Amino acid sequence: MKYNIISTGSKGNAVVINDCILIDCGVPYKSIEPYIQSLKLVLLTHIHGDHFRASTIRKLAKMRPTLRFGCGEWLIESLLSCCISPDRIDIYSLDLCNKYSDTLSITAVYLPHNVPNCGYKIFIDEEKLLYATDTNNLNGITAPDYDLYMIEANYEDEEIQERIQAKKENGQYAYEYEVLKNHLSKQKCDDFIAENAGIKSKFIYMHGHIDKEELQN
């Protein structure tokens, strides 16, 4: 399965699969412009700006008037506000397979976060992909012997606990508590892959943690 990670993490998220599917659109338009002519479907996960950049989505929809957008019901109003007509929006119910053709089907899966969010199981050209970011856990999701796993591995448990302890000792607010609640650790990611991956499976760590202090420098 071919993939191109345009960006992943708090600065923006966008991944192109097999040249035809864009997952998340949280980057400037110029970042995705080289890929837009071959796109057929844009999959959106949740409303946070690093995953849903309204100005980019609006321009993308204008430049590609036949392009379809897939999402959960929680993003319908946001897409309509980007001037995307309802007949271009595919609304996914969780855990229900949406078959586009004999070679493409999409299933949205629930991911707990601080806003409504989902990941995607994508079956394309007889290959299987699981994409899951911005979540505390992958409970209830199974994806045995998939060809590719693109899963958040946001932080190391030991490292983030050390950051929290250091800030507590300095009397600082530790925003890392929010990271623990809303993002997936590398340990949980590795456990999921170990339980599901087959001998030929590949996996990519997504959405690595960037310290806020580093972003400000």
Catalogue all structural domains in the chain, each as residue range(s) with its CATH number: 3-216 (3.60.15.10)
At 171 the pLDDT is 72
Nearest to 33 by CA among 50, 9, 16, 10: 16
Q: b/e string for 160-188 if b means 16 or more Cβ within 10 A?
A: beebbeeeeeeeeebebeebbebbbbbeb
pLDDT digits (tens, 9 = 90+) for 96-120: 999 999 999 999 999 999 999 999 9
When pLDDT is cut at 50, 70 and 90, the band that residue 208 belongs to is: confident
Whether the predicted pLDDT of 8 surpasses 50: yes
Distance CA 73, CA 189 (A): 27
* Confidence (pTM): 0.91
At 217 the pLDDT is 31
Distance CA 98, CA 49 (A): 26
When pLDDT is cut at 50, 70 and 90, the band that residue 181 belongs to is: confident
At 214 the pLDDT is 43
Beta-ladder partners of 119: 109
The end-to-end CA distance of the chain, in Å, is 37
**Strand order across the beta sheet in which 68-71 lies:** 3-7, 14-17, 21-23, 41-43, 68-71, 89-91
Q: What are the E-state strand segments in the chain?
A: 3-7, 14-17, 21-23, 41-43, 68-71, 89-91, 97-101, 104-110, 118-124, 127-132, 148-152, 202-206
pLDDT digits (tens, 9 = 90+) for 18-70: 999 999 999 999 999 999 999 999 999 999 999 999 999 999 999 999 999 99
Whether the predicted pLDDT of 140 surpasses 90: yes
At 215 the pLDDT is 34
At 36 the pLDDT is 96
| Residue 95 · residue 23 · CB < 8 Å | no
At 213 the pLDDT is 45
At 156 the pLDDT is 74
Distance CA 166, CA 164 (A): 6
pLDDT digits (tens, 9 = 90+) for 115-136: 999 999 999 999 999 999 999 9
